[in-house]
Amino acid sequence: KAGVTQTPRYLIKTRGQQVTLSCSPISGHRSVSWYQQTPGQGLQFLFEYFSETQRNKGNFPGRFSGRQFSNSRSEMNVSTLELGDSALYLCASSWISGGSYNEQFFGPGTRLTVL
Amino acid sequence: QQQVKQSPQSLIVQKGGISIINCAYENTAFDYFPWYQQFPGKGPALLIAIRPDVSEKKEGRFTISFNKSAKQFSLHIMDSQPGDSATYFCAASINRAGSYQLTFGKGTKLSVIP
Buried b (16+ CB within 10 A) or exposed e, A22-60: ebbbbeebbbbbbbbbeeeebbbbbbbbbeeeebbbbeb
- B11-44, pLDDT tens digit by residue? 999 999 999 999 999 999 898 999 999 999 899 9
Residue among A30, A43, A103 with most chain B CBs within 10 A, to mutate: A43
Q: Give the one of A44, A56, A102 whose C-beta lies nearest to B96's C-beta.
A: A56
- B63-92, pLDDT tens digit by residue? 999 999 999 999 999 999 999 999 999 999
Backbone dihedral angles phi then psi of residue B51, each to the nearest 5 degrees: -100, 155
Tell if the CB–CB gap between B99 and A42 is shorter than 8 Å: no
Under the banding of pLDDT at 50, 70 and 90, the label for residue A1 is low
Smallest CA–CA distance, residue A56 to chain B, in Å, is: 6
Are β-strands A110-114 and A10-13 bridged in parallel, bridged antiparallel, or unpaired?
parallel
Q: Tell me the average pLDDT of chain A.
A: 92
Residues on chain B touching A39 (C-beta within 8 angstroms): none
What pLDDT sits at residue B75?
A: 98
What pLDDT sits at residue A96?
A: 67
Return d(Cα A30, Cα A49) in angstroms, integer.
8
Q: Give the one of B34, B42, B101 whose C-beta lies nearest to A45's C-beta.
A: B101
Residue (of B57, B58, B110, B50) closest to B80 by Cα position? B110
Per-range mean pLDDT, top range of A99-108, B16-25, B98-107 = B16-25
Tell if the CB–CB gap between A94 and B104 is shorter than 8 Å: no
- A47-94, pLDDT tens digit by residue? 999 999 998 899 999 999 999 999 999 999 999 999 999 999 999 998
Greatest alpha-carbon span in chain B? 47
